[in-house]
Amino acid sequence: MNRFVYGPVLADALRNIFAANLHAFPPHSNNTVPFGVNVPEVLAKKYFTIRWYDDRVTSKLFGFTDGEDYYVKTSSQPWLEQGAIQIPTLALHSLDDPILHPDNIPWDVVRRSTNKAVVFAATQGGGHVGWFEDGHGGEYTPTGNSLLAFVS
């Protein structure tokens, strides 16, 4: 579903944000901004993936080589592996997340972690940044109950 629904919608939103902020890029003679972003290419592309955008825009704007370099260097995985997180942290993931598929979670790192400050939890439902409670006497989803249990 991510590839056919959420990806194109998010990619289109990124293009719109990029176009709305062109004033932040100084005029240039070679059709690229100093960061190496080919502005006409980004604006002309009718359909692109998040990976395409990250390869050509996000990575360049923030000093990464490409999308892969951006993903590796901004990942939380090294922090988990090194045990660097000392503040009690709840890492909550929904298995039906349409953006971050469960296959992309480093479950082996989660299983190996001996960091007592981090609690990992996965729920069947919740979507992407979801876990809403209905507030009308119906069933509650994990948000309130999980967070209350975590902080007590």
Tens-digit pLDDT profile for residues 131-145: 555 555 555 455 555
Domain extent for 139: 76-151
Q: Would you tell me how many other CB atoms lie within 10 Å of the CB of residue 36?
A: 11
Nearest-angstrom CA–CA distance, 59 and 47:
19
Cα maximum dimension of the chain: 62
Domain match, 144 and 81 both:
yes
| pTM listed for this prediction | 0.66
In the prediction, which pLDDT does 110 show? 84
Q: How many domains does the chain have?
A: 2
Q: Among residues 73, 101, 131, which one ends one of the domains?
A: 73
pLDDT over 70 (residue 117):
yes
In the prediction, which pLDDT does 29 show? 45
Q: What is the pLDDT of residues 31-79, one digit of tens each?
A: 556 578 888 888 888 888 889 999 999 999 899 999 999 999 998 888 8
Domain match, 48 and 89 both:
no
Domain match, 82 and 140 both:
yes
Domain match, 83 and 69 both:
no
Q: Which is it for strands 89-94 and 118-123: parallel, antiparallel or unpaired?
A: parallel
Nearest-angstrom CA–CA distance, 18 and 52:
14
Q: Among residues 73, 102, 132, which one ends one of the domains?
A: 73
In the prediction, which pLDDT does 5 show? 65
Domain match, 68 and 23 both:
yes
Domain match, 25 and 50 both:
yes
* CB contact at 8 A, 96 and 126: yes
Q: Would you tell me how many other CB atoms lie within 10 Å of the CB of residue 131?
A: 18
Domain match, 80 and 145 both:
yes
CA 136 to chain centre: 31
| DSSP characters over 105-129 | S-HHHHHH---TTEEEEEES---SS
Q: Among residues 73, 92, 120, which one ends one of the domains?
A: 73
Query: Which residues are 32's β-sheet partners?
Result: 38
Domain match, 99 and 46 both:
no
Mean pLDDT for 102-116 is 85
